[in-house]
Structure 1
């Protein structure tokens, strides 16, 4: 009888748990064009092909939501964008910081597109275009993930690569662009040195480690999912270095994925990263990370990554820890720590779901919670963030269908949201 009562109580708690609410959705992305004539000219010239514009990353700063649109194919109107959050169901995107910054030179966009090869492109296959950064340091070519920090700065990891799935062209080197969000002005641009970019390198994420009390003392961690390393950028000294570790590699047994009925195999290494809360005035904290093609979670202290001499030596090997395994079919693209609940939220692309883990508990399958799962609205949850008010935002975009199959003329791109303190109710993360 006691067991029955516990089961009933658990069912009641679970039924009362709040799920994610769909906030925004798009059939196709639309932009705030200067005029209707400008839009039609872009369509005519091939610079704007609606079906080639897929949202991938998101960030929230005050009342603005930033959305990235990588140049997977030709015809992406603008790669870095924002809209002011409102009740508009399908808001138009405003290029950030401007249209001019996001425009590529006119070229022939009517090319055949090839299938994506598993999370990256061969750098040697990319045709070298003119370096647009030499002429205009404000240019944005193609970005995947972005991050706003506590100092009101937007950090943009720009791959510089366009038409990735078709005829790749490297318009600029891999670089970090940092903007002042209060003025929309470029603060600094850092180009990743060539010797830190390998043949299979692919930088699609950026994590920023800083505190509002010392904005000059900032570091950015750039996971290289293609050649299994992390590039660390030191903002104060304006330099970077490449860190390697076995834990950055993918698990060969976890690279088989099925999303939206499409089966494919990826070999993506370290990708998702989350920063724990600072434990002292020096900003020491834990860095959590995992490979995309993996179900395991690892950690390392940021004091390791910020120490170039130690981080790049073999002495650092045992400073990294295996936390545990999430369980079957729990591969993840992104994770984010919420300091209000002590919970790390993460995507589950094989399950059309969002998972969670309370960092105070052991990292076991039993302690992994399921915030929400939906085979319609959460097909390939690609990115997620928690804002300063404790709201979780999730972007789902059906990307494998976009790459390997085709998207249907329906709502394919969504942003869902929920209060972190409420959506963990009834889960092991509570």
Structure 2
């Protein structure tokens, strides 16, 4: 969900490497609406939060300055769950976003509570244009590690869909969730970036060969969506590298999307990231593609290799349409994804080849921007349903529910359809 980026020649080469006859995920017709909800946390689609527009908890008596808050331009893209809190990222796609990292209670007595800036208002610079680069400029996603720290990826630029203004160097900040204080900040060197880099997602590898109980040797994989590539950071050795592959670029044949009768075009590269349960494979996908890929993490962690390294990328399979979010259930190994033009959530099981539709809803599953399996709780699948097409086209209606946080229990009876397929490998 970033600015237009057209790389036709490179993408055409990547597309030519994919077998045309490869079987597709989720190729059945669109499914009917799911059952209606009778209240919160009931039914296959359980609406935990629902907003017509995002609202923020201001200090008593405070007011937004002119232009600081435009509700029609505030859309969440990032979700992380802890045992007691829900973290939501609201990047500065356009002017008028007052707080880019926010939190709400996991069990709130107030329905749809206003977003509370995290760790406080002092970290949120107005429109991301403040001169203090130690604060947060624009955040797309954040992830918690198993040592109770929240790692926040700050893209360092603002107005990514309205001018693309670099403000500060991208950085990674770790907050201790027991104190809500920063404990580490990593500012990335320019050698790992490009002038138009936009870091949008991250996956944390804490089970590699150097894993330790204190989480001091984590490896981070971060997507550069605008200049397709992956930035790899080894926190134990404090080293960073950049890698790229044609599979990370957008495909111009899949850069146009029609959702609920509205069509828009966006040529985004790699954005979806999720690690396999053994952390040996990183699943990834550009937004503008119908393909899901994986790459061996051992190759990504090879800091002796140059940027031109030939990566062992595998074509996992093809989907019915483009999608942003990916998630892996670490108990079963299933990969979850959301084909945006089907308004649905589906899964693929790499071990058995089984696949199926978990849920389909024309109204409530419009553009699932983020998927998360609740490892801190009961293993349910959570997602952010955003109606992103309306924010992109500026057709948001404040009288309608536009933004939802949805929980889906992962039980066999919620799989509507399944079939088998095989895998294929891209020939580099």
Residue 405 (structure 1) aligned with residue 371 (structure 2):
no
From 356, 368, 372, the equivalent of 1:381 is 368
From 46, 65, 72, the equivalent of 1:51 is 72
1:332-347 matches, within 5 Å, as: 332-347=323-338
- 1:424 Cα offset (Å): 4.7
2:305 is matched with 310
- 1:277 Cα offset (Å): 1.3
Q: How far apart, in 2, do the equivalents of 1:165 and 1:293 lie?
A: 16
2:48 is matched with 23
Contact 1:130 1:172 in 2 (8 A): no
- 1:214 Cα offset (Å): 5.0
Report the TM-score, using the length of structure 1 for normalisation.
0.81
Structure number with bigger Rg = 1
Q: Secondary structure at the match of 1:215?
A: coil
Contact 1:216 1:236 in 2 (8 A): yes
- 1:337 Cα offset (Å): 0.5
Q: How far apart, in 2, do the equivalents of 1:423 and 1:233 lie?
A: 40
2:86 is matched with 65
- Gapped regions of structure 2 (runs ≥ 5): 1-30, 36-42, 421-428
2:316 is matched with 323
- 1:289 Cα offset (Å): 1.3
45-54 vs 162-171, which moves further:
162-171
2:119 is matched with 97
Contact 2:98 2:127 in 1 (8 A): no
Q: How far apart, in 2, do the equivalents of 1:261 and 1:348 lie?
A: 16
Report the TM-score, using the length of structure 2 for normalisation.
0.81
382-391 vs 253-262, which moves further:
253-262
Q: Secondary structure at the match of 2:185?
A: strand
Task: Tell me the C-alpha RMSD between the 2 structures.
Answer: 2.4
- 1:425 Cα offset (Å): 3.9
1:121 is matched with none
Q: How far apart, in 2, do the equivalents of 1:32 and 1:194 lie?
A: 36
171-180 vs 93-102, which moves further:
171-180
Q: How far apart, in 1, do the equivalents of 2:388 and 2:185 lie?
A: 29
Q: How far apart, in 2, do the equivalents of 1:429 and 1:150 lie?
A: 35
Aligned length: 373
- Gapped regions of structure 1 (runs ≥ 5): 1-10, 107-128, 279-283
Q: Secondary structure at the match of 2:123?
A: helix
Q: How far apart, in 1, do the equivalents of 2:156 and 2:298 lie?
A: 30
- 1:312 Cα offset (Å): 3.4
Over 3 Å counting, the alpha-carbon distance change for 1:65 and 1:422 in structure 2 is farther
From 72, 81, 84, the equivalent of 2:105 is 84
Structure (1 or 2) with the greater helix fraction: 1
Contact 1:304 1:311 in 2 (8 A): no
Instruction: Map Cα deviations across residues 46-94 of structure 1 (whole Å, 9 max, x no partner).
Output: 2223332221211101110001111122221211000112253311111
- 1:231 Cα offset (Å): 0.6
